[in-house]
Every structure is written in C-alpha cells, then in structure tokens.
Structure 1
Amino acid sequence: MYPKQFLKAILGAVFCLAGALSSVPATAADSPPASGDAACLACHDAKKTIKVSNEDGDERALRGVDPAKHGASVHRGLSCVSCHSDLTVTGDAKAPHKKNGQAAPDCATCHQRLWDEAQKNGSASARPRMGKVVSNIAAYKKSFHAKPDDDNPNVPKASCTQCHDTHTFNVPADRSSPEYAAWRAGVPALCGASCHTDQLDTYTESAHGKEVLDKHNSKAAVCIDCHTTHEITSTSLTSFKLLNVEECGNCHQEQRKTYGGTYHGQATNLGTAETAKCYNCHGSHDILGPKDPASKVHPDNRLKTCQACHDGKKRALATAGFASFKPHANSHDFAKYPEMWIVTNFMVALLIGVFLFFWSHSGLWLFREWKESAKHKVETHIRLEGLAEPLQHKHFRRFPVGWRIAHLCFALVTMTLVLTGTAVLFSHASWAPHVAKVFGGSKPMGLIHRCAAMAFVGIFFIHFVYVMQKLLRDRSFRWFGPDSLIPNWKDLQDCVGMFKWFFGKGPKPKFDRWTYFEKFDYWAVFWGVNIIGFSGLTLALPTVAAKFLPGWIFNVATVIHGEEAFLAAVFLFTVHFFNNHFRPNKLPPPDIVMFTGTQSLEEFRDEHPAQYERLLASGELQKYLVDAPSKPMRIGSKVLGLVLIAFGLILLTLVTIGFFTGGH
C-alpha cells in the first residue's frame, strides 16, 4: 500500500485532471474570474512577475494566472478558493493568505463527491462529462503514470497537472473542429517537452511526426493514439501489445485486415504477445515510409528486421526468403500480388465447384428418397433370392479390422486438426481465442496441430504401404476391376445414372463394391495429404523453405493450406455425413458399418446390388458372411458414432460462424 503522502499526491493530481474535464456552471467564454478572486489576482496575475522567498530564503516566482484564458477554461465558473480550500484570506498585504488546517486540494475526492451528488439528485444525465471524469480517475489510478516515481516514491510518475494546466485546460468537445485539431497537434510537445524528450526527438523525424508537426495533419498519429490517455500502461505488458495493433488498425484498416491473414496476425488475434506486431517491423516512434532507406521495412533492411525476432536463439535464424515475404498482401490486387490473386481464385473456383456439385447431389438424393418414402416405394425388407434361409440372417463383412482402426484414427486426428486449425484460420471469430485458451495458448495449440498432422500422414503412409504391398503380391488383382478403388468408366455411368434417377428418368444404378462417391472420399485424402501437407510443412519450417524459395511462397502456402482445410472440413461434415448417416434410408443415425465392419445382408443387397449378385453367382458370397455383431458391440458403436457426429456438427457450426463473421 502506498504511503499516505503518495496517496494524497495521486488524488491531488487526479483532481486537477478531473476538474479540467468536468462540467461546471459557465459564464461567457471570455468572462473574467469571479469578483471575489480580485485579491488573488493582485499577486497571481500572469501579467505580473512577483517573487517571494521561501523558508530557506530562496526566491521563487508566484504562479501567474491569465484571466482571459481562465475565463475560457472548463473551470471558468469556479472561484480560487473553490479549489484552494486549504487557504484562508487574511487581508494582510505581506501574508495575504495562510494555511487553515484543511486538507490540500483533492480533485478526485471533489469530483467523486460532485458526481455522487448529481446521481442522488437526478442531475447526472445533464452532466455526462462529469461521469467521464470519474471513469478517467479510475483509469488513471491503474495506469503506469500513477505508479511511484523512481526518484521520489512519494509522488506518482506523472500527475494530472503535468499534462493539464487546471487554470486554462479545455479539451474541445467537437473533434471535427479546428480547435480540437490544434489541441491534438500540441500533444507530442506536451508529452515530450518535460518527460519524454528522447521519444519526442525521434518522433519529430518520423513519418507520423512530419505529418503532424510539418504538414499540420491532425489525423496523423500522436502519442495518445498509441498509448491512450488515462489508461497508459507499460509497453512490455501483453495487454498493451495486443491493444497497440488495434490502435494502428484504427487508421490503417486495410493493413490491419491483411495482417490478420498472416500467422503473425492470427496468433495476435488469439491473444499471443510473442509474435510480431506492427512496431516490431515498422518501429514505434521512429516509423518511416517503406521507401525511406532508413526505414526498417525498406527492402535493404527487411532481413535484418526479421532477424531481430528470428535471431537464431529462441527462433531459427531468418533466411533470405524472409525479406520478400509480403505481410500485407491481398488477393484482389493482381498488379501487386499476382501469385496471391491466381492461387486464391483457383482455390475459390475449386471450392465453388466441389460444393455446387456435391451439395446439389445430396439435395437431389434427399428429395428423391423422401419422395419415394412418402409413396411407400422404399422396401423395408429385401428378399434374398438364391440364399438359404439360415444364411439370410447373417451379416456381410465389408471392412477388416485394420481398415476400421485406420478410419477411427483418421476421424479423431482429422477432428483435432479441424479444431486446432480453424481456430487459427478464423482467429477473428469470437470462439477462436477460447479454443486457444483451452489448449494453453496459440503456441501449444500449434504444437498439437503439428503432432496431429504427423499422425495423419503416418496413418496414411502405413495404409498406403499396406495396400500397395498386398495388391502387388496379388497378381490376379484387376486394377480397374470391380474390387478396385481406382475410378473407371462404370463410375461415370453410375454418376450419370444417379442423376437420371434423381429426376425420375431412369432406375437407380446398381453399385458394385465401391460407389463413385466412396471413391471420391478415398482419393480426396490423397489430394489433401499432398496439398495440405506440403503447404503446412512450408509454414511449419519457414527458415528451411526461405533458403530455397521466395518469401511470397508463405503467402501462397497460407491461402492453400487454409482454403483446402476449409474445403475438407465442410465436405466431411456435410456431404460425407449425409451420404453415410443422414439420408432418409439411413435414419436414424449413425450408420455403424465402419465400427462393426459388417452390415446386414438386406442392407448390403440394397446398397451394393452388383457386388451381391456377382458374389452370389460365383459362389463366393458365403466367404464374407459372419454372425451379427453382439449387442454390446452394436451399442458401443452407436454411442461412438453419435459422439463423433455430434463433435463434427459442432465443428461445422464453429467453421460456419468463422466464415460468415468475415475475415475469410
């Protein structure tokens, strides 16, 4: 707790600031002080210079007050003793006033009392500026300026009177007025003249300083735009670093938006203070235009600027490609950023094409099955001709244990990737910082994301090697046959036939072991592993990539990685979920065939009639018949399926919110 003297100093200082901003009964703007103050002005008139001796015999000049300026201030209706209540007028020419034993002026207490009275008597709404003063007092008490001074702990680092002259202070209320512009222009000198002299010298030569001081551009940044006024905190605090980015963005809106699309900006949106902010690249008081040879972002200086953070200690040393990274690139300016324009438009076209086709496919399928269900054309029991009665109650084994385990691992890893990845992609969304907080911040979340990515690639690689070695040893395997996942002409015929069936122009195609949409799901993983994998690897190992590739590759990789991940997530939780769990013939969800590995012969015959007929004709069907899963297995599979579906739909909701709240 501060000593009483220090507390008194703070309160006194705050009172001066608060009083300067408060609403008081006013006379004309140029009215002189109250008539009772004439005795005070006899000595304290600014036009006079009167010196007095202190207790040590040293002379000092009395504080002078300009009546005209006081008459234009916010305190113009107050008499001297309204504030200087600790003094009593004596009438003695040699000692016109003396201490009366009352406490020294305390602006905070006075204004708090006035505000409390206004609230009690119902006049608070007529004095909104007084309420602002009280909130400023509270903010100041928590600020860096209110902390004890290093040289004299009994006083704060900065008091109100160091920023505001209580006899003349009056911030123009109209921020569009020339008076307000003039007041803003004086802020740098006010902050720098008595305290921050070095910063003022640097600021004077900066791009902002020249705009304000030389060109009289009142809209250019001054001290209070970056540091605020009463809420000033230490620049080392996380809160300041995060807020400072938003303060810059108030003027540089387009740059703030494009910065938010980079990893630095995304991590900042998630509440991370360690990643590069505006001042790390551009400087703070010494900001210069990018064409200035002394600027930190001049092409000749960029690598050195990057190496201030990527210094080879905490982070790997920045390499040559860093200098050509474009932190404010956008996708709509082909002249400046052709790579971004081309890649973004390609990815957008890909997304539109895939979603348009498959959402139409799902919608038409839903309508067709619903229509047939309404007309009771869907058979609830399919006769299994040519099969002995005892065998008709068997199940058909579609997926071996290895495939089922791989599918479950893929599902868990993919959902982890979607959650941790889209929290970064949609870092602007309200839910994203909360997700990052659950994982301990953006850095631990990024580590989890990379571990999940390695697990995904590992599972994929094991599956690929297993399948390939098995197929290569089976010399009778037909690569374009009915058991192959490689697309063939029948898939195209089935796709066309399916659309004819949707519109009632033909029968439903007879699918063999793999449908065309199942093959698309399967091969989409190969596409995703390569596209998402290599772009993610580039972003995860920037110093390695920048040794061999130009910096714009990071801009392109960010677009590809994010857009392809968005495509995969939305496709999985809409199209894939519909095909396997939400079609009318599949309700109620979930379909547990990927968990049990089997399905009833009736369901198998309905979904894969061509394979059923082929196996029945060849006499091979019985090789695949197994007993139905046990009740615990069925219940466990349903619970697991419902949990995964619920989590997937939650992820879809988060992605949808992120997409429609901007920033993508």
Structure 2
Amino acid sequence: MIPLAPAGRSLLQPPGRHRHRAWWIAAAALLAWSFAGSLPVRAAAGKPAQDNCLDCHGDKDFSKEGPGGAKVSLFVDADRFGKAVHASLKCRDCHAGLDDSHQDGSHPPAKVACGNCHAEESKVYQGSIHGMSKAMGASAAASCVDCHGNHYIVPVGQPDSPVYKMNLPVTCGRCHANKNITEEYKMKYPAVEYQYQESIHGQALLKKGLIVAPSCNDCHGVHDIKRSVDRSSPINHANVAKTCGKCHVTVEAIYNKSIHGQLLAKGDPRGPVCIQCHSAHQIETPVSGHFKANSDMICGKCHADRLEHYRDTYHGKAMALGRANSATDVAACYDCHGHHDVLPVSDPNSRLSKANIVNTCRKCHADASASFAKYEPHADPMDRKHDPILHYVFLVMTTLLVFTFTLFGLHTLLWLFRSIWLYRHDSKQFREAKANIEKDEEQFTRFQPFERFLHILVVTSFLLLVLTGMPLKFYYTHWARTLFAFMGGPGVARTLHHFGAVITFVYFTLHVTDTLANFWRHRGFLRDPETGRIRLSRIWKAMAHPDSMIPSKQDLDDLVAHNKWFFGKGERPQFDRWTYWEKFDYLAVFWGVFAIGLSGLIMWFPEFFSRFMPGWMINVSLIVHSDEALLAAGFIFTVHFFNTHFRLEKFPMDTVIFSGRIAKSEMLHERKRWYDRLLKEGRLDAFRVKDEWDAWKGIARTFGYIFFGLGIVLLLLIIYAMVSRLAH
C-alpha cells in the first residue's frame, strides 16, 4: 500500500512551482547519501538526526491504510524524539536500507533490528518464551517495540518509560490481559494484570508507591522470560522459593528447614512452594480473614484426607461457613502446624511435638492441658485401626439412628396407609368426627398451665438449637452458609446455640423439680396403711399408674393392638391419658438431654472437662452430639409431627398443647379409657373446663403454625443436605 502524503501533496511529485529546484535537491541528496554510506553509523553531535524524513513523517496527518482498512499513523513527533535515548541516531541507523524509492511506497522499510546495537539483550531475548514464540511464527509474541516503544524510548529508570517498574503491570497487561490473545494462546493466567493490581504486591507498588515491591520483571525476569516448565526459569517449581527469597530472605531460610523445603531440596515435586499457598499473582496479606478462610482448601490440595476430617470438627465447619471472614479466632491448618516452619511431629522443634503441643493449643485455649492436647483434630471414625473407640461409638450411634428411623418409620407408614384406607371407604365418618370435635363445647383439662409453659420452652429451644446446629452438620450446603450469613455468622450462631442449650437445661430442671415436688407431696401413697413403712411394691404400683409417664405392660398391649388394627386384624384400641408413643416421646427427651446435653457441655467447656477425661472424649462427644441431634430433629419433624399433627383426624394441627384442653367427643374417640376411668373415680368434673380459650386460640394457633412450618422447612433442608452428600 502506497503511503498517503500530507494533504494536497503527492509522494511522486513535489509542488509545481518548485519542480526544477526539487530536481537539484534530489541530486544533491543522492550524492550526500552515497558519501554518508562510507561514514560511521553514529551521527555527529549537534546535527539533525532525522535527515529529511520528517518532511513527510513530521505531518500529524501522515498515515497509511492498515489491515482491515484501519488508519495507521506514520507521524513522528520531533520534540519527543529529541528527548528519547536514540535522539542522536539517524533514521537510517535503525531503518537500514532506505533509499529514494521508499518515497513512492515501492520499498517498505525493513524491520528494525535492535540486536545490531543491543546484541547481548537480543541473544537473551531469542532464548525467552517471547523470542522463541516469535521465531515459531507467533505474531502476537512480544517484541522489543511492544515493551519499550519505538521512536520515543526513554531510559528504563525514567517514570514515563513503559518498562519503568510501576508501569510494567500495564505494559505486560496489554497482552496478558487481552482476551483475544489469552484465549488464542491459552494462557494460564488470562486476567493477570487485574489480579496483580489487587494483590498485596500490586497495592504496595501502585497505590502506596513502594518501589521495593516486586513488579513483573522481579519474578519473571527481563529479557530472559521463560515458561515455568523451563528449569532455568525463576518461576520454575524448583526456583520459586529462591525467587521469592530475593525479598523475603528470612522466610526463605525458615522454609528451607521445613519439611516442605526439605522435600523440594531432594527434588521431590510434592514439596509445595510459595505460589501454591499464596498464589502466583493474587497474593494477599496472610493476616486477612479471607486468606485464612481459604487456607484449609490450599492445604487440602495436597492433604485431602486431612482436610476431609478437619472439616468434621467445629474448626473446619466454622471455617467452611465463613467464620474466618468475620473473625480470625478459628484454628486453621497453619495455626497448629506452622506457617513456613512446618515440621514433622517427630521433630522436637515442631509446634506439635510432645514438648510444644500444649503451648500451641494455648494460643487459643488458654487453659489447655496435656490431656486436652490428646484431642484428635483429624480423627477418622471409620478408621478402626487408629481410632478404635471413635469407630465403635460411630457404629453404635449409626445403628441407633437406622434402627429408630426404620422402626418408627414403618409404624408411621402403616398408620398413614390404614388411615387413608379408612378415609377412602368412609370419609364421611372422618369429617363428621372432626366437625363434632370442633363444635364440642364440653372440654376437659389435659395439660396444666405449667406443662404448657414448659412445652413452649421445649419448642422454642429445640427450634433454636436445630436452626443453629444443623448448618454445622451440613456445612457443605448452600442453605447452611445462607442461614449462618443471615444470623450474622458462626460466632453469633454459636452464642444462640448456647442460649438454646441454657433454655433446655432450664425447662428440664423445672420439670424434674416439679415432678419430685409432686412426688414428695404424695409420698404418703408409698407407705403401707397398716405398718406405715415404704414398700417397693407400692413404688412400682405408682410407676405403673395410668397417669404415670413410665411405660407399663398396658402400653405393650396397646402397641400390639394398634399394630393389629393397622393390618385390619382388630378393633382400633382406646387409650388412657397417655399413649405408648407419647410416653416414648417423653422419655426420649430425658435421653436426649442426657446424651446431647452432656456431649454439648463437653464441647462447650473442653478445657474444663479435659482435666479429668482424655482429650479424645471431645471427639466422642462430637459424634454423639451430632448424630443424636440429627436423630432428635429427624424424629420430631417426621414421626412426632405425624403422630400429633399429620394424622387425618388431627390435620393440620392439634392445638391441645397450647389450649391444654381436649373435647369430650375427642376423648371418647381416642382416649375413652381415660374418660371411663375419670368417670368411675368420680373425678371427671374436676377436669371439666370452660374459659376464655376461644378468645386467644387464634394467636396460639398462629404461633403453632409458625413453629410447625419452621420444622417442616428444616426437615426438607436436612433431607436435601443428606441426599446431596450421598450423591457426591
């Protein structure tokens, strides 16, 4: 393509009125050029370096048509060139071989060969990734001009140089942040410029102006940039520590003595280096919560088995749920194993050696003891060889879970199918029975105000414990992270969980105290009327009384009769004040408070309990607490909800626990044995009530529906979490 002349001028013919003079000038120029060819390359000081090239290239509008019809400027700013490092050179010193034919566009300039003057740099460049790529035909590979510029090259130490330290990220980014180039050459770091700018190095250099902070060339080299797989590259795996050590001298010395550094020194590729932990370009301050939150995943790249079981601890779960983003008091891997000084446990200098482990624990747990240090942060309950006690505890709890859900799951399904079958064959009876219960104004007290108050405490504390505890068990789900984020993070959730535990201990203590007080008030029942002595037989008789919550032979008979009814082999049984499934629910609370409560206290105050029990009991407590909590939540939200609310005759909710009363028609339909007993004992009128329940039952039902709906949502989330875990 013939270069365009400035406006109104032809490259082939000068203006008409100077035509004859132009011929003389051209002849003189040719003579001078022939003579100049025998002179040294450098121009004499003080003479114009540009000859007559600027007659054309000095015009700001001088341009040519480039690829795709784009306009390419051929303008050279004489003032800027005069300040450049090559100002003393003539144009032909770089653009060799130019003659008069260049003016008509038939003789395009040859590519500038910087190596004619910069031979050593050229030789190094040719062995670099850029030079080798260019030699192989990679048109986008960076050349001298791409980094240093062309006519306006200034000294490297000058702030306006494109290769000045603070300008390098942008200069390198012109290719390494160019989407077209990074995709074409499949670059490993396509957004390197932006990553570096946000890193601790980039922030220090570009925002704080700390010229000692590393820029691109400090890590990759200058003209000798090579791929990381090249053994001579400063970013080769074996050389990274030495490269970073140019600035981080002390850290490198510590690292070289660590187990990681020793592996690297032996040529073992498993030895991790700086960029594997800190990343290559996105290096951030290690004291930030974000770095700590991701540190377990970094270590887990090599120690996947350790990460898996670390995640089963509170530390790991809280870390996964984002606690480290709001606070840095959760133990990450390096808090125990060290940072750059990771050593084998057998090494006396290791933070986890017998001599040092207690002090390591005390960084977070001030009252930690040698017994506390026996806690196993990576315990594997499936490993019977190394953790036999945990293994058998895990088997027992898993068996309990499977047995309970299987037994009561079948019981619930059989009851549901039987109810559906009866409803399909006589739906009118169901509807009439329910309508009669709703309209029946004759009601009797079933729960005293104190019992209803305790149930409110049970419901609220239980839901609070599930809301704050289940996300820890299913930490790997999105809903767990969302729920914790809504609550303000794992730290807030832990406080709320402890508050729910306190409420649990309060209602349990109140109930036991009330039961013992009631037992004491009626202690005369235990004495023989004739001798006045307490008889064990009378204690047993009191426990087997229909008003007692202790299971009796009658409950076993009711269970058998009920199951016969499920299969249509008998009449539907009638019950007394308490049914066999209600007694099971009641006693399950005692077992749950003992199992969940005690294990929870051990995890809440591990330093205290480790004074008189080994630290691995904390691991046992975690298994018991976690599995028993899952059993309780699953049972309440399925079996208990069905028995109480999901049955066709109760659906959508039985409000007796809020009102404390039961209609006469319902007693005759389900608890006729209780009604007949009260009638026989002459105590029926003592249970008869009629008060303001209708005025506030709407409020009670509203709260009931909220509790009930929340339980259903939690059940669905638990099921989703378990299914997603099994799927992976």
1:599 alignment partner, one of 659, 662, 685: 662
Indicate the structure whose relative CO is greater, using CA pairs within 8 Å and at least 6 residues apart: 1
Structure 1 residues 66, 633: CA separation in 2 closer, same or farther (over 3 Å shift)?
Answer: closer
Distance in 1 between the 2:157 and 2:414 partners?
91
1:346 alignment partner, one of 389, 392, 396: 396
In the alignment, is residue 233 of structure 1 matched against residue 284 of structure 2?
Answer: yes
In the alignment, is residue 398 of structure 1 matched against residue 446 of structure 2?
Answer: yes
In the alignment, is residue 200 of structure 1 matched against residue 264 of structure 2?
Answer: no
Letter aligned with residue 247 of structure 2: C
Aligned to 2:23: none
Q: Is the 8 A contact 2:220 2:233 kept in 1?
A: no
Aligned to 2:244: 191
Worse overlay, 182-191 or 35-44: 35-44
Distance in 2 between the 1:584 and 1:167 partners?
82
Structure 1 residues 379, 138: CA separation in 2 closer, same or farther (over 3 Å shift)?
Answer: closer
Gaps of 5+ in 2: 1-108, 136-140, 526-540
Per the alignment, in what secondary structure is the counterpart of residue 162 of structure 1? helix
Letter aligned with residue 357 of structure 1: L
Q: Is the 8 A contact 1:245 1:278 kept in 2?
A: yes
1:255 alignment partner, one of 306, 317, 323: 306
Q: Is the 8 A contact 1:140 1:230 kept in 2?
A: yes
Q: Is the 8 A contact 1:73 1:167 kept in 2?
A: no
After TM superposition, give the deviation of residue 444 of structure 1 in Å.
Answer: 2.7
Aligned to 2:349: 294
Per the alignment, in what secondary structure is the counterpart of residue 444 of structure 2? strand
Letter aligned with residue 588 of structure 2: A
Aligned to 1:60: none
Worse overlay, 426-435 or 351-360: 426-435
Distance in 2 between the 1:128 and 1:66 partners?
22
Aligned to 1:620: 683
Aligned to 1:456: 504
After TM superposition, give the deviation of residue 321 of structure 1 in Å.
Answer: 1.3
In the alignment, is residue 466 of structure 1 matched against residue 466 of structure 2?
Answer: no
Q: Is the 8 A contact 2:200 2:285 kept in 1?
A: yes
TM-score by length of 2: 0.74
Distance in 1 between the 2:441 and 2:474 partners?
50
After TM superposition, give the deviation of residue 97 of structure 1 in Å.
Answer: 10
Aligned to 1:45: 120
After TM superposition, give the deviation of residue 600 of structure 1 in Å.
Answer: 1.4
Distance in 2 between the 1:486 and 1:98 partners?
90
1:372 alignment partner, one of 396, 416, 422: 422
After TM superposition, give the deviation of residue 454 of structure 1 in Å.
Answer: 1.3
Structure 1 residues 522, 100: CA separation in 2 closer, same or farther (over 3 Å shift)?
Answer: closer
After TM superposition, give the deviation of residue 157 of structure 1 in Å.
Answer: 1.3
Per the alignment, in what secondary structure is the counterpart of residue 599 of structure 1? strand
Letter aligned with residue 451 of structure 1: F
In the alignment, is residue 79 of structure 1 matched against residue 143 of structure 2?
Answer: yes
Distance in 2 between the 1:545 and 1:41 partners?
79
> What does 1:114-263 align with in structure 2 at a 5 Å threshold?
125-129=183-187, 132-133=189-190, 135-148=191-204, 153=209, 155=211, 157-171=213-227, 183-192=236-245, 194-214=246-266, 216-263=267-314
Q: Is the 8 A contact 1:359 1:575 kept in 2?
A: yes
Letter aligned with residue 667 of structure 2: F
1:486 alignment partner, one of 537, 545, 550: 550
Structure 1 residues 203, 35: CA separation in 2 closer, same or farther (over 3 Å shift)?
Answer: farther
Letter aligned with residue 357 of structure 2: R
Q: Is the 8 A contact 1:87 1:99 kept in 2?
A: no
Structure 1 residues 100, 393: CA separation in 2 closer, same or farther (over 3 Å shift)?
Answer: closer
Over the matched positions of the two proteins, sequence identity in percent amounts to 32
Distance in 1 between the 2:156 and 2:331 partners?
58
- Which of the two has higher C-alpha Rg? 2
Q: Is the 8 A contact 1:181 1:218 kept in 2?
A: no
**1:461-484 Cα distance to aligned partner (Å, 9 max, x none):** 111111221133224483211111
Q: Is the 8 A contact 2:374 2:614 kept in 1?
A: yes
After TM superposition, give the deviation of residue 379 of structure 1 in Å.
Answer: 5.0
In the alignment, is residue 282 of structure 1 matched against residue 334 of structure 2?
Answer: no
**1:616-654 Cα distance to aligned partner (Å, 9 max, x none):** 333332322222754332322221211110111122223
Letter aligned with residue 45 of structure 1: E
In the alignment, is residue 554 of structure 1 matched against residue 618 of structure 2?
Answer: yes
Aligned to 1:51: none
Distance in 2 between the 1:151 and 1:379 partners?
76
Q: Is the 8 A contact 1:143 1:233 kept in 2?
A: yes
Distance in 2 between the 1:470 and 1:226 partners?
64
Per the alignment, in what secondary structure is the counterpart of residue 196 of structure 2? helix
Worse overlay, 393-402 or 371-380: 371-380
Distance in 1 between the 2:156 and 2:484 partners?
62
Letter aligned with residue 298 of structure 1: S
Distance in 1 between the 2:216 and 2:176 partners?
19
Distance in 1 between the 2:363 and 2:433 partners?
72
**1:213-260 Cα distance to aligned partner (Å, 9 max, x none):** 21x222331111110111101111001111111100111111111111
Gaps of 5+ in 1: 1-33, 47-62, 90-95, 384-390
Distance in 1 between the 2:724 and 2:212 partners?
44
Distance in 2 between the 1:239 and 1:101 partners?
34
> What does 1:406-417 align with in structure 2 at a 5 Å threshold?
406-417=454-465
Distance in 2 between the 1:628 and 1:582 partners?
28
Structure 1 residues 621, 490: CA separation in 2 closer, same or farther (over 3 Å shift)?
Answer: same
Q: Is the 8 A contact 1:182 1:218 kept in 2?
A: no
After TM superposition, give the deviation of residue 293 of structure 1 in Å.
Answer: 2.6
Distance in 2 between the 1:101 and 1:188 partners?
30
2:372 alignment partner, one of 306, 311, 322: 322
Distance in 2 between the 1:659 and 1:607 partners?
36
> What does 1:518-597 align with in structure 2 at a 5 Å threshold?
518-587=582-651, 589-597=652-660
Distance in 2 between the 1:345 and 1:466 partners?
37
Per the alignment, in what secondary structure is the counterpart of residue 251 of structure 1? coil
Q: Is the 8 A contact 1:381 1:602 kept in 2?
A: no
Letter aligned with residue 350 of structure 1: L
Structure 1 residues 112, 289: CA separation in 2 closer, same or farther (over 3 Å shift)?
Answer: closer
Q: Is the 8 A contact 1:87 1:97 kept in 2?
A: no
Distance in 1 between the 2:386 and 2:603 partners?
22
2:699 alignment partner, one of 636, 644, 648: 636
Aligned to 2:359: 304
Worse overlay, 108-117 or 575-584: 108-117
Q: Is the 8 A contact 2:205 2:213 kept in 1?
A: yes
Q: How many residues align?
A: 586
Distance in 1 between the 2:262 and 2:157 partners?
48
Q: Is the 8 A contact 1:73 1:170 kept in 2?
A: no
